[in-house]
Amino acid sequence: MRDQHASRHLVQLIEKLDQRSAVIGIIGLGYVGLPLSLRYAQAGFRVLGIDIDPAKVARLNAGASYIEHISATAIGAALAAGFEATSDFARAAEADALIICVPTPLNAYREPDLSFVLATADALLPHLHAGQVVSLESTTYPGTTDEELRPRIASRGLTVGDDIFLVFSPEREDPGNPDYETRTIPKVCGGDTPDCLRAGIALYSPAIDQVVPVSSTRAAELTKLLENIHRAVNIGLVNEMKIIADKMDIDIHEVIRAAATKPFGFTPYYPGPGLGGHCIPIDPFYLTWKARQYGLHTRFIELAGEINSDMPHWVIGKLADALNERSRSIRGSRVLVLGIAYKKNVEDMRESPSVELMEILRAKGALVDYSDPHVPVFPPMREHHFDLASVPLTPASIASYDVLLLATSHSAFDYALIQQHAALIIDTRGVYLDRLPNVVKA
């Protein structure tokens, strides 16, 4: 199977991966790394999960889960198959494959923050050895793998493509999506050299149904950015259409539903109160930052970013107008935000526009509470602090608020009950199809 020029390290690595005798090390046990760990354990590999959070490590080793859509039963099955979590980076030396799944946020200047990736790489560096494959899955700008990781590995005296193999394979997790799981989502993979790509394909093929090879790590890095920028730009377009439709007293959700009946040439995207999640609000800025190094100005992408970033303020403007028509101001009004996760039916609050809405309302003097069945207590966050717990929805509690701001349309909400008892609802998700006297669409 291997050609005569393949290094003995590559031949041995591929043999281990083919026989499932390789140890898979996964660094970062969050929404990407944990499902991937469970999938490799399910595929018959011994998996070593590494995370800097000792609380996560302890919970996993005790058979408990901290992610809503991953059950304790799934954790228990992985443990029985040989999965183990640790905070000891020295144990990376035991692994034949190291897959890095750590955050890539933006800094205060909306520039790429690679501190988690680089800190992880530096922590792994003393424990790298010949015969390993290293894969970066964290979303980043084209050039990160070869500009940042390759020189670090070379500093260990290891030749990439001969001694050790470096790939980029972007994560494509979609928490809460019932139609896809880690195994069934095709996996893009690019190698630093042709033999690195061979190692990457051998790494992912036993666990993922379809591996999609591309010519380089940079092509793989740009693939991920294109996927998410495509979504961000189209959401920006439909958010702008929402503003236009609102001025014309047209329901944009009715228009989208009608347009979506066209069987070709149209893909429906839906407006909202802003962008959320770990990818779409962040990834476009990774490309715009890198493009500036080439003297390029990404006007189209940045315009969509401006529109999407302005949506929370537009929604608050609609809320203020609706209260004003009822002879009330935001200051002193009791506001209940419905849904603070970034999307429906998950507990994930990364970059949630709901939290920005809460911040704006609080700054304007509103008395803010929230209700979210997936987030019983407002969690610690780096930039946002609310000492709140989720309010149960009862006829009395609903009626006690001046306005309910529907920000995330969880299926668990009883929308008929809400509409029956709420004095005023600001619907940012198009839940209420009919024109109702106490519902304002925003």
Angle between helices 217-247 and 299-325 (to 10 degrees): 30
Question: Cα(172)–Cα(226) distance, rounded to whole angstroms?
Answer: 13
**Count of positions (residues) in the chain:** 442
Residue type, 168: F
Dihedral of alpha carbons 222, 350, 380, 306, sign: positive
Question: Cα(58)–Cα(87) distance, rounded to whole angstroms?
Answer: 10
Question: Cα(407)–Cα(311) distance, rounded to whole angstroms?
Answer: 12
Phi/psi for 40 (5° steps) reads -65, -35
Question: Cα(403)–Cα(407) distance, rounded to whole angstroms?
Answer: 12
Catalytic choice (101, 189, 196, 279): 279
Question: Cα(424)–Cα(333) distance, rounded to whole angstroms?
Answer: 12
Dihedral of alpha carbons 173, 179, 180, 185, sign: negative
Decide: 345 and 177 in contact? Cβ < 8 Å: no
Question: Cα(138)–Cα(128) distance, rounded to whole angstroms?
Answer: 19
- Residue 228, helix vs strand vs coil: helix
Distances (CA, A) of 294 to 115, 285, 288, 305: 23, 15, 10, 20
Q: Which residue shows structure tokens 């509470």? A: 369
Tell me whether residue 279 is one of the annotated catalytic residues: yes
Burial (CB count <10 Å: 0-12, 13-18, 19+), residue 240: middle
Provide the β-strand partners of residue 27. Answer: 50, 100
Question: Cα(441)–Cα(431) distance, rounded to whole angstroms?
Answer: 9
CA dihedral 200, 25, 116, 343 (to 10 degrees): 80
String of b and e for 298-336 (b: at least 16 CB within 10 Å)? beebeebbebbbbbbebbbebbbebbeeeebebeebebb
Just list the catalytic residues: 279
